[in-house]
Amino acid sequence: MTVSRTALVITALVSACAGGGIAYLGLRGASTGIADPPSPPVRDFALLDQDGRFHQLYRLTKAKAVVLYIHGLGCTTVRDSLPALKALRATYAKQGVEFMLINANPQDDRKALQAEAARLPLDLPILKDDAQLVIRSLQAERTGEAILIDTKTWAIRYRGPINDRMHFGSQRPAATRHYLSDALAAVVDNDPVAVAQAPVVGCVLNIEPHRRALSYTGDVVPILRDRCINCHHAGGVGPWAMDRYETVHAWSPMMREVIMTKRMPPWQADPAVGELLADRALRTEEQKTLVRWIDAGAPRGDGPDPLAAQPPEGVKGWPLGEPDLVINLPEQKLPAQGVLPYRWLKMPVPIDQDRWIRAVQLKPSNTAVMHHGFVMVQYPARHKDREPAWLEGRNGFFAAHVPGLDVQPMPEDSGQWLPAGSTLVFQIHYITVGAPASDRPALGLYFHRAPPPREYAVASASNRDLHIPPFAANHIETAETTFSERVMLYGLYPHMHYRGRHFDYVAHFPDGRSERLLSVPNYSFGWQTLYRLKTPREIPAGTRIVARAEFDNSEQNPVNPDPAQEVRWGLDSDDEMLVGYLMYTHERDDYPRRLNDMASNTAGRRSVSHSNARSQSP
């Protein structure tokens, strides 16, 4: 006979009313628990913790089990149970069990969680479920519930309190039943769990109710147009086009998965750090709307289909208008499969006088195959001493293309200098798409009519002395650069390869202050993003910018080419890089200076590789 959680709780409450509260808590005999019932797998999800670190359930493949504990600030059950949870972690972490807390209370923000963790102190990650989608998926109703997941099947092997010590308004001097400890011992030893479910004594979660039925035309399509269709149109970088309801419905289970794991939309920046332009991330309410609609079966509803009536199209031509000069590159033919080396091309610039560039776009004809591209400039011999030290792109670039990039001109009062007689150097990284393909890239240049008052430049903090040990899960390396004069900072672009996991920029100002400018806790080599600041930042002379990169060379990294190798710097994707690009402007001299006259780049110091998944604020 299958007993539901609700029925179990109701039975316990009835017993409590008839014979006293201790009946609800006690559950003293084996018959009062449910023994290891079959459980469907817990669906994968990803959340940020109180410090902005990224955690994904299915990435914990090397763990024997995962304990999720439902957390809430102000709940005495949680507060008084945490010492027992920490003691279990001390025992079972060394046996391969991961412990994480989940907080879905609307009133508990990350700052409050950080303060609570510091006060207790608590060194466990508290995952923040702002949209309450994970809590709903887990069917949690109260704080104080421990959920034990077996990573072999992702099934729940136990759910309930840590032990029987807690009760509403009181607690036993000592526990007599150790539910979670017993279940952990059984799972670690590959034994059946004797009591797989017990009633929870905790605070009722404030799960926001569904207030109305959702409309495909009125609720879902506007989100798709704002957040998804920029890539998911015919010929776009997205693998399928959101061109009608039937297509969206067919892909809706996959849409749910990539939303729950934060793979889509491709925007990896921590929303709690700074304000950024062209933010593609789904807002909390948008996540709720899409997942709720999908969970309801993705209903069509009435009325015409807005996507079919007006199919999404990519930007045709040049989004900034027709360029003053277009430089067409030769056709690039690509095989159906394989990992392709970078392609290097050189093209002379057909201009007869020096020009100031107000905007530039590297435009592939086939957006599905260009992973990213850089353009550098080789100056003619008479200006060679003024040529920026591009260093194969690691110290800056003239132009770049990354998928989904929102093409924008340089800041209005700035530009880049392009002397006559220059040669453009293209570094292009292509990917294969399962069938032979080709691309005809073009570079569009937009000229200033008069020299601007400020020069636009790209510098970087980079580290070529990388030593990432085999199987290191959380290896940290740093790089830094110092600005020699006051600049205006407009954008940041972190660059790593397949083992890149987390990237931070921190500014250390001359007056002793420090500030985190950008945090990318879920870096993806497949979606490299140039993050533009919503409000440009004045950076005083003498400011030191530190780029902190975390690499995952473990077997748990699903895209790791070979975890058994020590990884060093290299251009190939199987190698690694640490480059923190900085887009800025400075007062223009009568004659442009080299980029590294503005910013001095210092090789990063290698830190010790560690296995602790927690981070500390810089």
Burial per residue of 432-450, b for 16 or more beta-carbon CB atoms within 10 angstroms, e otherwise: eeeeebebebebbbbebee
CATH 3.40.50.970 is right for the domain spanning 34-188: no
Strands 146-150 and 325-328: unpaired
> What is the reported pLDDT for 609?
32
pLDDT confidence of residue 289: 97
Residue 392 has pLDDT above 90, yes or no: no
Q: Which SS3 state, helix, strand or coil, does residue 511 take?
A: coil
Q: Is the confidence at residue 608, as pLDDT, over 60? A: no
Query: Does the pLDDT at position 607 exceed 70?
Result: no
Q: How many CB atoms lie within 10 A of CB 343?
A: 16
Rounded to whole angstroms, the Cα distance separating 407 from 318 reads: 9
Side chain identity at 83, as an amino acid letter? P
| Mean pLDDT computed over 172-187 | 96
Angle subtended at Cα 79 by Cα 76 and Cα 84, rounded to the nearest 5 degrees: 125
Q: Please, which pLDDT band fits residue 590 given cuts at 50, 70 and 90?
A: low
Mean pLDDT of 137-166: 97
Asked if the peptide bond before residue 38 counts as cis, ω within 30 degrees of 0, the response is no
* Beta-sheet strands, E only, within 349-474: 355-363, 370-378, 399-401, 414-418, 423-430, 437-439, 442-447, 454-462
Task: Tell me the per-residue pLDDT of 90-105, one tens digit each, with 9 for 90 and over.
Answer: 999 999 999 999 999 9
The burial of 317, by beta-carbon neighbours within 10 Å (0-12 exposed, 13-18 middle, 19 or more buried), is given as: exposed
| Residue 594: predicted pLDDT | 53
pLDDT in tens, 290-341: 999 999 999 999 999 999 999 887 767 899 999 999 999 999 999 999 989 9
Q: Average pLDDT in the 601-618 region? A: 36
* CATH entry, 456-602, from 3.30.420.40, 2.60.120.230, 3.40.50.720, 3.40.50.300: 2.60.120.230
Residue 600 has what pLDDT? 60
Mean pLDDT of 418-424: 97
Residues 181 and 91: their CA atoms lie apart, in Å, by 10
Query: Does this chain's domain 34-188 share its CATH topology with 456-602?
Result: no
What phi and psi values does residue 550 have, to the nearest 5 degrees?
Answer: -115, 135
Checking if the pLDDT of 616 tops 70, the result is no
- 496-516 pLDDT tens trace: 999 999 999 999 999 999 999
For the chain, the structural domain boundaries read: 34-188, 216-309, 325-452, 456-602
Interval 578-604 mean pLDDT: 72
User: Does residue 14 have a pLDDT over 60?
Assistant: no
Q: What is the rounded CA–CA span in Å between residue 227 and residue 289?
A: 13
Lowest mean pLDDT among 15-24, 225-234, 478-487, 517-526: 15-24
Q: Which CATH class is domain 325-452?
A: mainly beta
d(CA 12, CA 17): 9
Cα–Cα dist 200/206, whole Å = 16
The 3-class secondary structure across 93-160, one letter per residue, is HHHCEEEEEEECCCCCCHHHHHHHHHHCCCCCCEEECCCCHHHHHHCCCECCCEEEEECCCCEEEEEE
The one-letter amino acid code at 148 reads: L
Beta strands in 552-596 (DSSP E): 579-587
Tell me the two tokens of residue 366.
């086939």
pLDDT tier for residue 28 given thresholds of 50, 70 and 90: very low
- Say yes or no to pLDDT of 284 above 70: yes
Helix (H) or strand (E) holding 265: none
Mean pLDDT of 41-61: 97
Q: How much of the chain exceeds pLDDT 90, in percent?
A: 79
Handedness of CA 220, 225, 230, 232 (dihedral sign): positive
Predicted local confidence at residue 588, as pLDDT: 87
User: Mean pLDDT score of the chain, rounded to an integer?
Assistant: 89
Rounded Cα–Cα distance for residues 463 and 604 (Å): 5
